[in-house]
Amino acid sequence: MISSMVMAHLVNQLVFLFVIFHYSIATDTLNPNQSLHDGQILVSAKETFTLGFFSPGRSKNRYIGIWYTMLRPAGQKTIVWVANRRSPVSGTNGSLELNGNGTLTINSMIFLPMPTVTLTNPVAQLLDDGNLVIREADRSKFAWQSFDYPTDTHLSGMKLGWDLRTGLTRNLTSWLSYDDPSPGRYVLSMDHEGIPQVILWSGSAKMWRSGPWNGTTFSNIGERPNAFRLHFVSNKDEVFLMYNTTGTKTVSRVVVDQSGMVRQFVWMESVGMWNNFFYYPKSECEMYSKCGPYGVCDINIWPTCSCLQGFKPKSPQEWALRDASSGCERITTLNCKNMTDGFMTITLAALPETSKAILYTNLSLNECGARCLKNCLCTAYATANNIGVGIGCIIWVTELIDLRMSSYAAQNVFVRLAAADLASISGKSSKESQSKLMVLIVVFSMAPLIITLICFYSWRKKRLMHKAFVSYHQLEKDIRNDELELTQLQWSTLKEATDNFDETKILGKGGFGLVYKGKLAKGREVAVKRLSKNSTQGVNEFKNEVTFIAKLQHRNLVRLLGYCIQGDEKILAYEYMPNGSLDALLFDKEKTLHLDWKTRFHIIVGIARGLLYLHQDSRLRIIHRDLKASNILLDNEMNPKISDFGLARNFGEHEMMTKTRKVVGTYGYMAPEYVLDGIFSVKSDVFSFGVLMLEIISGQRNRVFLSKPHLYLLGNAWSLWNERKVLDLLDPLVDNSFSVIQVIRCVHIGLLCVQEKAEDRPMMSAVVIMLGNDDAPLPEPKTPGFKGIFSTKYDLVSNHTDWHTFNTITLTEQQTGR
C-alpha cells in the first residue's frame, strides 16, 4: 500500500511535468534576441533543473532563478541560483534576453558580468548539472557560466575558490532573509593566504574554518562518504574545492543559510524531502579562536578551554569569568640565541590557523624541526599530510590560534617551548607516574576498608538526600568536590557590586530568590542571583545551577561566572542580559513592539538549538523541566539564552524516561504524562518548547482562556489550525514584515511539539532541522495535550498565579493515568 506521503510526492511530480510541458518555450536553450517572459521557463535536457522567474517567500519582487525541477518538497521550489539577486524586477512584466554579443539582460538591463570571449553565434543553455552556460551554437567556445557566480548554494561539479590568472573568486553568500535573496552577511570562501583552507565569514570576522587539506579531506571536517568525492586543487593558476556525486544516485547541495550555518542537504527519495546531512560549525569549539592564542578547546572536558602545557592564561581574571578569548602566554620566554629550546608533542584533531603558516613540500618531519629551531620566529611545526602520502611539513611563525580537539583523526603538532618548561613537564610526568604507582599500592592494600567506606558513603548520601535541608558547609564541600574550577566570589565583592543589594538594583524574581544587577571592579556588568533564606527547595536548586550550568557551554545557554557561599548566604553571578527575560517583552503590549517576526523567529531557533545541545550534544544529557518564557534571557543582540537549571535532571546515556512522585514545574508548560503520571523525558521538554513557541508566535500566555468555549492557547491554536485560519494566531502587534509561509510552518511545528502523546512529538534534533529547512515536509499534527479546561489533577496547579516561580505537586501511590 502506497503511503500518503509518497502518493503526494507522485502527484507533485505529475503536476510539475504538466507545468514544464505547458510553459517551457524551448527545451533548454535561449537563442539570440529571444525573450523568456515571466511565466515561461527553460528546462534542462533530462528535466533535472528549471530556470525562470520566481518570488521568494512573501516577497512580490521577481527574480530569475534556477531550481530543481522534480525535487520539490511540499510543492516548494528549491532555489540553487539567483541571477539578479541585487536587482529584482517589480511586477510580472520581466523578460530575460540574450543579445547578439552573448550578454544576458533583464528588461534590456545588463545584470551579470559580460563574457570575456567574443562569440559569433551565442546561445544560453541550461545544463543538467544546474549550470547555465553561454557558448557558441556549435559548442566550439564557452564564454560564461553561472557556476562562476554562485549565490548561496554549492552544487556537484561547481568550484569554490580562486582563478589566480583572472582574479575570479567563487564564494557562497547567504541570502539576506527567507524573503530576500540579496547578499547577506555570511560568506563561505577559499582563503588562499598561507596554506589554503575554507573560511566561513560573518562580515569581516572569521566564524569557522575547514583547516588545511590533508591528502583526502580538510582536517577540520573529517572524512566524507564515498558518494561525496572531494577534489582539491592548489597550484599557480587555481585554488579551489569541488565535490562530485556523478555516477551515484546521491543528489546533494551545500548551502550557507541566513543563520550562518554551512549545511549539506541530501535528497531522500523515499520520503520526498531534503535531509540535513551535516552542518558546521557544530559546537562552541568549532567557533573560530574560541580559546584565543595558545588556548585549546575540547568539547569533551570542562572547562572547554585550557592552556597548552608551558603556557598560562594571559588574563586570569577573564578566564575565571569563563572568557578565554584573550588566550594564553608563555611561562618562560624562548631562548633562540643559545639554541636551548625544544619541542612538546601534542595530539590534535585540527591543525592551528594556517593563514600565516609556511608549507615546505620538500622537507621531512625531522628536517622541518631542525629548520624551526634555527628560525627564531618559529612557534611550531607539523607534517603537512597525516595519511603518509609523500613528504612535506608546515611551520608556524606566529601565535598558534584556533587549537581544538574533536572526534576526527588526530594529528601531531610539535610546539616550541623553553628548556625550563620542557624540564618542568618531564619532571611533572615522572612525579605523576610515581604518585600513580603509590596510589595503586595503597588502594590495593586498603581495598577492604575503601569498599566499606564507599558503602557507608552511599548509605549516608541517600539519607542526606531525603532530608529537606542540606547544611551550607556540606553544600560548599559538594561543589568543591565536583572540581568545577568555578570562581568563588567574595561576599564583600558582591555587596559592593550591588550597592549592598539595593532595591533599585533588583532585576526580577527568580526561581528561588531575587536577581540584582551588579557591576564588578573592572566595570563588567553581572546578574547576581541571591537565594532566599526562607527557601529550603532553593538549596537543591542552587547546587543544580552550579553543577549543571558550569559544565555546559553553548551560545544559547546563560553563562555562570561564579558563586558565593558565606554563612547562610548562597549567591550565583551570571553574565548580564541587557534585554532581560523574554516574558518581560513578550507579554508587555508596549515592549512587544520591539519583537518583529524576524526577531521572534531568531529567538525560536536559538532556544531550539540550546535545547538540542542539552538533550544530545553536551557532555551531560540534561532535561530542563522548567522551560518557559521567564527562563529565556536576551542579550544585547536579542540572542536567547536558556537559564534557571534549578529543576534540571541529568539523564544517563541509555536512560530514556523516568518517573517521580514529586512533580515540579510551571503551570501551562508541563506535559500531560508528567503532570498526571510523573513520567518525564526529553519529550517533556519538547512539549514545553512547543508551548513556548506558540506563545512567541501569538504573544499570549498559555494560562488564560483565549476563546469560547474556554480554550487555552493550545486549544485555540488547534481550533484555528483545523479551521485553516492559522494567521489569526499571530500576534496582531507584529507588523506586516513577516513570511506567511514561515509563520504557518512555525505554528505547524509548535503543534507537533505539544501533541498529547509523548511518542508522537518530534525529538529536538528533528525540530531544529524543520526550522532550518523550509523544504522539509511536516506530518499532520494530532490533538494537543491540555487544549481546553484542565482535568482535576491538573487543576492542582491552575490556581498558582506567580508565573516566575515553580509549582510542586506530589503524586500519591493511588494516582492513576488518564
What positions carry a catalytic annotation? 626
Beta bridge partners of 488: 563
Helix (H, G, I), strand (E, B) or coil at 574: strand
Amino acid 417 reads L
Residue 61: other Cβ atoms inside 10 A: 18
Query: Cβ distance 379 to 367 under 8 Å?
Result: no
Q: In this structure, are strands 273-280 and 262-268 parallel, antiparallel, or unpaired?
A: antiparallel
Amino acid 335 reads N
Nearest of 417, 807, 462 to residue 647 by alpha carbon: 807
| H helix or E strand, kind and range, residue 651 | strand 649-651
Say how far apart CA 643 and CA 181 lie, in whole Å.
35
Say how far apart CA 737 and CA 121 lie, in whole Å.
46
Helix (H, G, I), strand (E, B) or coil at 117: coil
Say how far apart CA 132 and CA 96 lie, in whole Å.
13
Provide the residue count of the chain.
Answer: 818
Nearest of 306, 290, 291, 297 to residue 208 by alpha carbon: 290
Nearest of 76, 26, 27, 73 to residue 47 by alpha carbon: 27
Q: Cell numbers 535561449 label which residue?
A: 30
Burial class (CB in 10 A: 0-12, 13-18, 19+), 648: buried
The DSSP code sequence of 407-454 is SSPPEEEEEEE-HHHHHHHHHHHHHHHHHHHHHHHHHHHTHHHHHHHH
The DSSP code sequence of 212-237 is -B-SSSBTTT----TTSEEEEEESSS
Helix (H, G, I), strand (E, B) or coil at 608: helix
Say how far apart CA 517 and CA 501 lie, in whole Å.
9
Say how far apart CA 193 and CA 359 lie, in whole Å.
11
Phi then psi for residue 456, to 5 deg, are: -65, -40
Q: Positive or negative, the Cα torsion across 415, 420, 422, 425?
A: negative
Burial class (CB in 10 A: 0-12, 13-18, 19+), 125: buried
| H helix or E strand, kind and range, residue 310 | none
Say how far apart CA 179 and CA 431 lie, in whole Å.
63
Nearest of 638, 604, 549, 618 to residue 743 by alpha carbon: 604
Query: Cβ distance 272 to 73 under 8 Å?
Result: yes
Please report, for the chain, how many H helices and E strands are present, in that order.
16, 49
Task: Specify the DSSP class assigned to residue 359.
Answer: E
Note the helical H segments in 199-348.
Answer: 316-320
Phi then psi for residue 465, to 5 deg, are: -65, -25
Note the helical H segments in 336-414.
Answer: 365-374
Amino acid 538 reads G
The CA–CA distances, whole Å, from 264 to 313, 667, 779 equal 37, 40, 23
Say how far apart CA 47 and CA 770 lie, in whole Å.
28
Query: Cβ distance 156 to 243 under 8 Å?
Result: yes
Amino acid 428 reads K
